[in-house]
Amino acid sequence: MALFQKPQKRGPKPKLHKIINEVEHKYCPKCDQWLPLTNYGKQRKALGMFRELVRRYPNSTRIAESAYYIGDIYKEYFDEDVRAVQWYQRAWEWDPKILKPARFQAAVVYDLLLAQPGKALPLYQAVLKYEQFNGSNVNFATNRIKHLTGAK
């Protein structure tokens, strides 16, 4: 069951099996330099860059990471929380083993920004299963699960 209604897809689901040299050389070296972004122009430019990657290279191994960054930009810089969780969800759907805290970020948005704890709870639980790479996120998720379920 989906946590929210998915946007309509524009073509086939991307398959993460192919590294495209142009993406590797043109986009990936820039990923870390864009975040954190401190001015509006760079935020818009980074958003456009990541969206272009997803649009132009649907089979790239980098679209899941790009989807994560798109979600972050929408959440952090444009206060578009619903759009952010949609992109976080795409990130983990396109690469279930993504090494970015997509589920955690979506849970926090639902829980603390959108006041929808019912949607946050299964995501916090998914953090414990799939996102063990960040100890502080795991601890936060564990505490929120206890709080939301009334467990001690």
Non-local CB neighbours of 73 within 8 Å, separated by 6+ positions? 37, 43, 46, 47, 50
Q: Are residues 110 and 60 in the same domain?
A: no
Residues 105, 55 share a domain: no
In a domain, 7, yes or no: no
Same domain, 77 and 117: no
Tell me if residue 79 falls in helix, strand or coil.
coil
What is the domain extent for residue 79? 18-87
For residue 40, being part of any structural domain is answered with: yes
**What is the residue-level pLDDT of the chain in tens, covering all 152 positions?**
344 444 444 444 554 344 444 554 555 555 555 445 456 677 788 888 889 888 988 888 888 988 998 999 899 889 999 999 999 999 999 999 999 999 999 999 999 999 999 999 999 999 999 999 999 999 999 999 999 999 86
- Confidence (pTM): 0.79
Residues 66 and 118 in one domain: no
In a domain, 4, yes or no: no
Q: Report yes or no on 96 lying in a domain.
A: no
Tally of domains in the chain: 2
